[in-house]
Structure 1
Amino acid sequence: MRHRQESKRKGRYRSSKDSEGLELKPPRQQDPTSTPKTPFVTEASGLSRTYESYLPQSADDRTIQQKTKATLDQIELHVENFYRNSASSAPRLDNAELAVFDSPYLPASLTSLLPRSKNRINLMKHALAHSVTSSISPSASPAPSLLPTEYGLLPSTVTSARSNVSTKAGSGQIMSRWRVMTAYLRPDPTKDVAYIAQRNRQINDTVQSFATAFAPWKNIGYKDEERARSLAAILEDAATLGIFLFSQPSTLKFHWPTSGEVGPGRIVVSPALVKTTDEKGQDLMEGQVMVKQVVLDA
């Protein structure tokens, strides 16, 4: 029979057995001079790993910049290709669909600006870019979202008027952990049939709504089907970008300056992407501009 060697460590409990012969190990007293506890050991690999090693890791700045700029550039190109400054038909000034694409970062409503603007293309670029970036920003409630529902529930609650979460100590760091843990634990959106169906419905609604709102300025050299396919592909890519940005440990936000900040007669047609926290969720002294904004004449 193998004899169990007793520990020579001072203050260590000895093992005992219960009435059924099962070995019982009394709780260990913590030695204040001992080294930190080792991470748990995975049964599959036998390697010691902390839970954080399983979470999505931060992408490098260049990757974030390239992915974001690619989507924003495609939005601009879509409007340049499929729409024109001059109206192909008389625009309806009471077009309710235009109101869907109004933006708080424009000096007035689209219904008011479009008829008198010489740069309608730029107004349409702003309208589409604002709509798309809002739909992939989890805190931009109640805008229709292209993200999984779970990504937006907590952020919209935290940013609501009744919330005081932002004043709580460590809230930024905890939200950073929550995002990457949610991205890890939630089933892969690219393989989630229910999410894809929900996303596709929202894409179709946006495609139809934008086409109707800006129909007077469409480029008649393209078929409506081509226009729809182009925007649908951009929105699908935008959804993928939104999921990617959400999973980053650092907080990344699209920044839209007000019309007063960019000056009279100028508008932002493509927003800046700004990193506001580091990988630990701690606020940066000054936001890091990852992608620069594009400002043009209104």
Structure 2
Amino acid sequence: MTSNAGPGAAAPTPVISSTQTLSVPATLQADGAVGNFTVPVIAEGATITNVLVLVPTGQGIRFGKEYGLSLPPGEIRSDGFFTVSYMINPAQIVFHSASPTATPTPTNAVPSSAALGGGLPQPLEDKAISGDVSKISNAIKNHVQSYYHTSRVNPGLIDYEDLHALGSGLPVSVGTLTTLIGNAATREIALRFIIAWVIISKLQPSKDPTKSLLPSEIAQCYQAVASGDRGYQAQTSLMACWRVMTAELMQASYIRNPFGPSDSRHASIQATLVTLDNVLQPYADSRMNNGERKRNLEEVLKRAALFAFTLFSQPSAWEFEWQEEQGVTSGDLCIFPALVQVADEAGNPVSPPRPFSEAVVRQLDA
């Protein structure tokens, strides 16, 4: 966008909200490229309030998405240009004044995780995340089909307190869940739902270490950093930076050498195993080795804990949707939720949320 104002034109309103969208020159798209270019503004003397830089797809460049930094008010040069210095891989975008006598510091800027340096990994590809979700769902299905029977069970063996211990917010009542477990035709569906519900509820960070399959150190820090008085996008962006950096620093303990003697996730995995087994034990197939059944369930929980760390390490924000409209009254039950992206790498809300996997819904037999 070029300026139409001449040298003698009157200055415009002191603050003009303007957005410039810039493409990185092709000659500077290679790994480690560094360069400068100028950005025309709407008029001479205008105050720029925000710049979005469109980073095209290329080697070492993130997804071709827009990364934005809010700038504090700063006067543009009289010739109508604002210089943008940037570096790709690390995809660090820095804005500064073109004036040799003044370089305002963007104190109000909130960096995206892409702007933090070359030591951070690229976000995982979509198929890697959706593939992990599918593996957990299939592991739960295989566990239930392998280790539980469909014979009649004495109702006295069902402990309502154990069902209440599965967690709050269940989309079905404990009474209805008891009926579904007791019915041979719906038991597999009910058991798969129970395991999935408990696991999914512990995949996100929590201020209570016992309610997450993430390392306890993360939960303790999360309690301190999760609250803030910034706006939604600023807080989301800062939390994304914290997650990515924290996960990278913990790689040696929790990814390259997982579940060693000092792994803090052992406690939460064992607590979750006890919670689930209190409900599952009455339906265990006596023809199968009980110790093997528990070890298999523990492996499912470890797989889930690894995926919890994977989600935590990504700059995007995620939620699980249980398709609650698919309730027992409709004759269907969602037994594994869909994973959806609710914020992108820059902290911008994704609306509607972008699905990364499909919910698993099963029809309830009469």
Shorter-normalised TM-score: what interval?
0.7 to 0.9
What residue number does 2:253 align with?
A: 189
Task: Quote the offset at 1:152 in angstroms.
Answer: 3.1
What residue number does 1:279 align with?
A: 345
8 Å contact kept, 2:241–2:315: yes
| CA RMSD between the two structures | 3.4
Task: Quote the offset at 1:138 in angstroms.
Answer: 1.1
8 Å contact kept, 2:216–2:265: no
Task: Quote the offset at 1:248 in angstroms.
Answer: 0.9
What residue number does 1:70 align with?
A: 135
Deviation per residue, 1:137-160 (Å, 9 max, x gap): 11485752221124334555677x
The structure with the greater share of residues assigned to helix is 1
Give the secondary-structure state (helix, strand or coil) at the position aligned to 2:339: strand
Which residue of the other structure, out of 153, 159, 165, is the alignment partner of 1:100?
165
Separation (CA, whole Å) in 2 of partners of 1:158 and 1:122: 38
Which residue of the other structure, out of 211, 215, 240, is the alignment partner of 2:281?
215
Task: Quote the offset at 1:206 in angstroms.
Answer: 2.5
Which residue of the other structure, out of 83, 106, 130, is the alignment partner of 2:148?
83
1:225 and 2:297 matched: no
Task: Quote the offset at 1:247 in angstroms.
Answer: 0.6
Q: Mark the runs of 5 or more structure 2 residues left unpaired by the alignment.
A: 1-75, 88-113
- Give runs of aligned pairs for residues 1-298 of structure 1, distance below 5 A: 51-102=116-167, 104-109=169-174, 110-111=177-178, 113-115=180-182, 118-139=185-206, 144-153=211-220, 155=222, 165=229, 167-186=231-250, 188-190=252-254, 191=257, 196-258=262-324, 264-298=330-364
Task: Quote the offset at 1:205 in angstroms.
Answer: 2.8
**Greater RCO (CA < 8 Å, at least 6 residues apart):** 1
8 Å contact kept, 2:269–2:302: yes
Change (3 A) 1:259 1:112: farther
Task: Quote the offset at 1:167 in angstroms.
Answer: 4.4
Change (3 A) 1:294 1:140: farther
Task: Quote the offset at 1:276 in angstroms.
Answer: 1.4
* Residue identity in the other structure for 2:358: K
Aligned length: 257
* Residue identity in the other structure for 1:135: K
8 Å contact kept, 1:105–1:258: no
Change (3 A) 1:119 1:199: same
The structure with the greater share of residues assigned to strand is 2
Task: Quote the offset at 1:236 in angstroms.
Answer: 1.0
Change (3 A) 1:157 1:274: farther
Separation (CA, whole Å) in 1 of partners of 2:186 and 2:356: 27
When structure 1 is superposed on structure 2, of 237-246 and 81-90 the one drifting more is: 81-90
TM-score (norm 2): 0.60
Query: Once the two structures are aligned, what percentage of the paired residues are identical?
Result: 27
Deviation per residue, 1:233-287 (Å, 9 max, x gap): 1111111111111111111222223256685232111111111122222111221
* Residue identity in the other structure for 1:73: N
8 Å contact kept, 1:103–1:127: no
What residue number does 2:37 align with?
A: none
Task: Quote the offset at 1:186 in angstroms.
Answer: 3.7
Give the secondary-structure state (helix, strand or coil) at the position aligned to 1:281: coil
8 Å contact kept, 1:189–1:195: no
Change (3 A) 1:37 1:259: closer
TM-score (norm 1): 0.72
Change (3 A) 1:34 1:113: closer
